[in-house]
Amino acid sequence: MKLRTKIIALLLAVVLLVSMPTLVRKVEEQLYPCKYADVVETYAAEYDLDPLLIYTFIRTESSFEPDAVSEVGARGLMQMTEETFEWIKTKLAPEEDITFADLYDPACAVRFGAYYLRLCLDRYGGDVATAAAAYHSGWGTVDSLLNHEDYAGDGKTLPTFPYSRMNHYVEKILHGYERYTELYGSSI
């Protein structure tokens, strides 16, 4: 009887060892999902963005909740403020009958958020960290830091992020993007 128990225990251990990577992968995919794939893929292609970066911003901003509202009133999957929405609307959709409330629609939120992310990346030389700081804190804040000799770096990107909330946000984006890339690579 003891030998049989040991054999069963050994077989269970082998099964667990063999299936563990698959289980871990499934858990990680739940933690780093790729929801709204059609919308994300569409606007990633339209604005020449890595879809994994868009997923990273959505995960960080709203945890994929389309009805999310921040403490400052930002809305939707990519958490855009009304002021930013109105400014982007003048560039992206001046003739369209859309309102700030439309950011609760995932397609609108990703369209506007991805466009703004593209603008941030273009403004800051493609540097994801500085673009993330600008997405979170605004161009004015980032530009002001770039004009400050203690933070300027190369004048286009920030080597450090002096505000704790900004720093925390940038770290979340960089870590999330790294995890998405490790999980999905170029398979998306």
Where do the domains of the chain lie? 35-184
Domain 35-184: assigned CATH number: 1.10.530.10
Active site residues: 61
Mean pLDDT of the chain: 89
> What distance in Å separates the CA atoms of residue 86 and residue 26, rounded to the nearest whole number?
39
b/e map 45-55, b = 16+ CB within 10 Å: eebebebbbbb
Inform me whether the pLDDT recorded for 123 exceeds 70.
yes
What is the token pair recorded at 117? 């992310």
Instruction: Record the pTM.
Output: 0.86
pLDDT, tens digit, 9 for 90 and up, residues 151-171: 777 778 888 898 999 999 999
